[in-house]
Amino acid sequence: MTATRMVVLGLVRHLQPVHGYGVYRALAGWTPGDAAPMKAGSVYHALRTLAGEGLVAEAGTEPGGPGAARTVYRITGRGDETFLRLLRRQWAQEAAPADAFRHALLFLPDLDPREAAAALRRRARLLDLDAGSVSGGVPGSLPGGPADLPAHLVWLRELARAHVDAEVHWCLRVAERLDLLADEPLGPAEARRYPPHPSARSAPGVTRDWSA
């Protein structure tokens, strides 16, 4: 529920006033492919729960389907404080699971660029330290197990290691881009755009335009 609370609070914070379907639609648009971290029903349930706790507040209605109206919400002061606390906790996790890491990345611009860059470098360092356990150190070896593995299991380990290496490279590359923004005055509620790093070649730039 912690990740759901953070994501829903963050989306209300940036899209307010917004109804439940607007939160879900934005979430589906911000996350690649089928990586959306929750279902529509979970979004509506979370909004009702957050409203009951005083973290979001009803701000009127908008026309919905025939004969229906959609309740729209705004984040409260307590909700804003809670969101930032949950976001920093998510970034502070050591080697957070992939889903939790994606949740935190959705709101990368809400952190100071230095803070975000340090978190990415920390994740890259931890992933790199764990990479040896993914491949077993030596192709075909398995700590505490047989020295020889079938070829397809070696290939599977190589694939896992390639995924880790790719994420380490990505974290370090984005951290460098954030370093360029470290001296720019960006308030947490301002519209932001993270431009591509000048040295990036074929890799797509990391952008998040909150004003879109």
- Confidence check: pLDDT of 106 > 70: yes
Same domain (yes/no): 87, 7: yes
Mean residue pLDDT across the chain: 77
Same domain, 114 and 163: yes
Backbone φ, ψ for residue 59 (5° rounding): -125, 30
Confidence of residue 169 (pLDDT cuts 50, 70, 90): very high
Is-contact 168 129, C-beta < 8 A? no
d(CA 125, CA 112) in angstroms, rounded, equals 20
CB 52, CB 76: distance < 8 Å: no
Could you say which DSSP state residue 114 is in?
Answer: H
Looking at residue 197, its pLDDT comes to 35
Q: Is residue 143 part of a domain?
A: yes
DSSP secondary-structure letter at 110? G
Residues 58 and 127 in one domain: no
Angle at 78 between CA 77 and CA 80, to 5 degrees: 65
Q: Which amino acid appears at position 116 of this protein?
A: A
Residue 1's pLDDT is 61
H/E stretch holding 70 reads: strand 69-75
* 206 lies in some domain: no
The answer to whether residue 129 sits within a structural domain is yes
Q: Is the pLDDT of residue 36 over 60?
A: no
Residue 5 φ/ψ, nearest 5 degrees: -60, -45
Residues 32 and 84 in one domain: yes
Span 191-201, pLDDT tens digits = 444 443 333 33
The answer on pLDDT for 75 being more than 60 is: yes
Q: Which domain holds residue 18?
A: 2-92
In a domain, 193, yes or no: no
The mean per-residue pLDDT over the stretch 147-170 comes to 85
Q: What is the mean predicted confidence (pLDDT) over 16-35?
A: 81
Does a structural domain hold residue 199?
A: no
> What CATH number is given to the structural domain containing 52?
1.10.10.10
- Inside any domain, residue 102: no
- The arithmetic mean of pLDDT across residues 165-181, rounded, is 91
| 34 and 9 co-located in one domain | yes
73: left (phi over 0), alpha (psi -120 to 50) or beta: beta
**Residue 191 lies inside a defined structural domain of this protein:** no
pLDDT confidence tier of residue 34, bands split at 50, 70 and 90: low
pLDDT band, residue 134 (cuts 50/70/90): low
Of 161, 158, 105, whose CA–CA distance to 130 is shortest?
161
pLDDT, position 94: 66
Residues 105, 108, 114: CA angle, nearest 5 degrees: 125
* C-alpha neighbours within 13 Å on the C-beta side of residue 132: 5
For residues 77 and 10, membership in a common domain is answered with yes
- Indicate whether 174 pLDDT > 80: yes
Kindly state whether residues 154 and 120 are assigned to the same domain.
yes
**Domain count across the chain:** 2
Check: pTM over 0.75? Answer yes or no: no
Closest CA to 207 of 109, 121, 110: 109
